[in-house]
């Protein structure tokens, strides 16, 4: 029987992210007018946009897909979630992702959505699965690599842009996945070093 991670510490992180996104969506288009990640954020000193842009969405389908993504990842990796740590990782991924978009994707002048950060949380979860010696971690990691690689080579197709009424920023998925992998590997090495020091 499937058991979902139902302890408050396991679901509060994604729940908070989801609620913030829903509240922001209810105040559209004003939310995007002020809080979307624009390429001019640095020049105009709108530094908050490196975080706020990730909580905004173009339409109902866009936010629905991302909320379902949060839910799916909670079902997959929620056993490893701790609310404060989860929120910290999510914010770190969001900021790092915004910086990557700024420095490496000059063609993206406006960005909203959770999907890039979700790819990062997913990648981190894959590393946790590997640390927990779950073979599914390899399958998920390979699937993520194939998805991101295909998007880089062939784009996101025509269906999703039509559904969300915007171009899919596939670079954000790539950056998010890389950032999540780095966070996961760093956390793994840190835990192993702590265990080694304790053993010594």
On the question of pLDDT at 1 being above 80, the answer is: no
**Residue 197: predicted pLDDT:** 67
Count CB neighbours of 32 within 10 A.
Answer: 20
Rounded average pLDDT over 121-145: 96
Arithmetic mean of pLDDT, 80-89: 97
Alpha-helical segments (H) within 27-135: 30-35, 49-52, 60-77, 83-104, 115-131
Structure-derived torsion over alpha carbons of residues 123, 129, 134, 135, reported in degrees to the nearest 10: 10
68-71 CB contacts, 8 Å cutoff, 24+ apart: 69/114, 69/115, 69/118, 70/14, 70/17, 70/18, 70/114, 70/118, 71/14
Peptide bond into 29 cis (omega under 30): yes
What are the Cα distances from residue 175, in Å, to 28, 118, 137, 140? Answer: 27, 11, 20, 17
Domains and CATH numbers, the chain: 8-199 (1.20.1540.10)
Share of the chain above pLDDT 70, in %: 96
User: Over 60: is that where the pLDDT of 28 sits?
Assistant: yes
Say whether pTM exceeds 0.75: yes
Q: Does residue 166 contact residue 158 with C-beta atoms inside 8 Å? A: no
DSSP designation for 163: H
Q: Mean pLDDT across the stretch 167-183?
A: 97
Mean pLDDT on 172-198: 89
Percent of the chain exceeding pLDDT 90 equals 89
Q: Residue 55: what pLDDT?
A: 99
């Amino acid at each position: 029987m499937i058991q979902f991670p139902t302890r408050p510490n396991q679901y509060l992180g994604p729940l908070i992210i989801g609620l913030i996104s829903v509240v922001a969506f209810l105040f559209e288009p004003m939310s995007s007018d002020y809080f979307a990640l624009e390429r001019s954020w640095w020049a105009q000193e709108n530094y908050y946009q490196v975080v706020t842009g990730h909580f905004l969405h173009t339409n109902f389908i866009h936010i629905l897909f991302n909320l379902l993504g949060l839910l799916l990842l909670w079902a997959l990796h929620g056993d490893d979630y701790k609310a404060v740590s989860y929120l910290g990782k999510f914010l770190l991924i969001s900021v790092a992702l915004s910086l990557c978009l700024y420095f490496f994707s000059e063609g993206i002048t406006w960005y909203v959505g959770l999907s890039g950060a979700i790819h990062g949380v997913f990648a981190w979860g894959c590393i946790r699965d590997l640390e927990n010696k779950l073979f599914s971690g390899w399958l998920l990691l390979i699937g993520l690599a194939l998805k991101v690689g295909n998007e880089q080579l062939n784009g996101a197709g025509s269906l999703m842009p039509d559904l969300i009424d915007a171009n899919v920023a596939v670079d954000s998925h790539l950056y998010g996945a890389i950032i999540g992998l780095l966070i996961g590997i760093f956390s793994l090495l840190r835990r192993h070093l702590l265990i080694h020091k304790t053993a010594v």
